[in-house]
Copies of this chain bind each other. A is one copy, B any other.
Amino acid sequence: MGSATIFFWLQLPNVTKNYRTALTITGIVTLIATYHYIRIFNSWSEAFTVASKDGGDYTVQLTGAPFNDGYRYVDWLLTVPLLLIELILVMKLPQADTVSLSWKLGVASALMVALGYPGEIQEDLSVRWFWWCLSMIPFFYVVFTLAVGLAEATSKQPSPAAASLASAARYLTVLSWCTYPFVYMVKSVGLAGPAATMYEQVGYSLADVLAKAVFGVLIWALAAEKSAVEESGKLLPN
């Protein structure tokens, strides 16, 4: 995540001014994630002790300190709206559409994260499902808006390469986003204990790398392609 941030920011001079805000935000998203993953790493290390007696098999024991999953939700609350805004900005829609889409998707996605958290910290399965369902309402709104609403914007990209990158970014968002509700369900279907916690953490981490760093690379490639088209004069910047 941290390397992705540096990569995006070092690429700022290589894109035209039109895409620098999008690329700056792309790097901020992975920076915020870097910070929270360091906190998650430390919280994880403090919650478990791995040791072997007499050089035999290693065993894992709880230290009593809690593993704090709240860092993920604070991270998502900040990064998920920013992720959507970077996608909207790189599309370079008319100003009014950019502002209205950023507000709608930003608020809906923050709501989605906020509604997921009360369920995540519950052991009661029916309460977990209740918050999962509530959270899925803004989730579907965002995914639907991306899959359908931005299709038109994709078709207006200035070159076939740009259109195919924009399309890939949209679909990667939908695909990586759909991972989260399934990972959330790991504990809701009654799995518990160390294995469930491990699957959940691995699942969320993989989805985060896809949704932030890999997605960011697509945003950068799209910005670079559109900058090249603009600079070659095939299309004048708006």
Residues of A within 8 A of B (CB): 2-3, 6-7, 9-12, 14, 17, 20-21, 24-25, 27-28, 31-32, 35, 50-53, 55, 58, 62, 64-66, 78
A50 CA to B51 CA, complexed, in Å: 18
Give, as a whole number of angstroms, the nearest-CB distance from A30 to chain B.
10
Q: Are A12 and B14 in contact (CB under 8 A)?
A: no
Instruction: Please report the C-alpha to C-alpha distance between residue A12 and residue B9 in the assembled complex, in whole angstroms.
Output: 13
A31 to B7 CA separation, bound complex (whole angstroms): 11
Chain A contact surface mostly: helix
B25 adjacent to A7 (CB under 8 Å) = yes
- Contact across chains for A11 and B21 when beta carbons are under 8 A apart: yes
CA distance A17 to B12 in the complex (A): 12
Given contacts A3-B28, A7-B28, A10-B20, 13 further A-B contacts (CB under 8 A): A2-B31, A2-B35, A6-B28, A7-B25, A9-B10, A10-B12, A11-B21, A11-B24, A14-B21, A50-B65, A50-B66, A52-B62, A53-B64
The list of the 6 closest CB pairs from A to B, nearest first, reads A51-B64, A3-B28, A10-B24, A58-B66, A3-B32, A52-B64
Distance of A85 from chain B, by nearest CB (Å): 11
Q: When chains A and B are docked, how far (Å) is the Cα of A9 from the Cα of B24?
A: 10
Q: Looking at the assembled complex, report how far the CB atom of A103 sits from the nearest CB atom of chain B, in whole angstroms.
A: 13
Tell whether A51 pairs with B65 under 8 Å between CB atoms, given A10-B12, A14-B20: yes
A12 to B21, CA, bound (A): 11
Q: Find the B residue at minimum CB distance from A64.
A: B51
Complex Cα–Cα for A14 and B19 (A) = 11
Docked-complex contact B62 and A55, CB < 8 angstroms: yes
Tell me the bound Cα distance from A35 to B5 in angstroms. Answer: 15
- 23 inter-chain pairs at a CB distance below 8 angstroms, sorted by A residue, are A2-B31, A3-B28, A3-B32, A3-B78, A6-B24, A6-B27, A6-B28, A6-B31, A7-B24, A7-B28, A9-B10, A10-B12, A10-B24, A11-B21, A14-B17, A14-B20, A50-B65, A50-B66, A51-B64, A52-B64, A52-B66, A53-B64, A58-B66
Q: How far is B70's CA from A50's CA once the two chains are assembled, in angstroms?
A: 14
Residues of B within 8 A of A66 (CB): 50-52, 58
